[in-house]
Amino acid sequence: MIAMFMPGPAEVVLLAVMVGVLVFPFWKIASKAGFPGWISLAVLVPLLNIGLLFFLALAPWPALQQSERDEMRDD
């Protein structure tokens, strides 16, 4: 007979902490870069998390483009 694994409270809390430690920093980075924070949930999906890293590293950040436009208007 196959025993089913039911996570206890300790495992659920540990999983929630691990998810928070992964998602929270990416949420802040995406928000500061000018992207929607919810894209940080891609960190939880294997292979998509690597894609998110490359996207954040290589995509033009809307927040930087906006600040550059603001600086050009002030001059």
Mind listing the pLDDT tens digit of every residue in the chain (75 residues)? 566 788 889 999 999 999 999 999 999 999 999 999 999 999 999 999 999 999 999 999 888 777 666 666 665
Give the domain extent around 36: 10-74
User: Which pLDDT value is given to residue 1?
Assistant: 57
Report yes or no on 34 lying in a domain.
yes
User: Which pLDDT value is given to residue 13?
Assistant: 93
User: Which pLDDT value is given to residue 2?
Assistant: 67
Report yes or no on 28 lying in a domain.
yes
As a whole number of angstroms, the distance between CA 34 and CA 67 comes to 11
Which residues in 19-55 are b (16+ Cβ under 10 Å) and which e? eeeebeebbeebeebebeeebbbbbeeeeeeeebeee
Report yes or no on 5 lying in a domain.
no
Q: pTM for this structure?
A: 0.71
User: Which pLDDT value is given to residue 59?
Assistant: 92
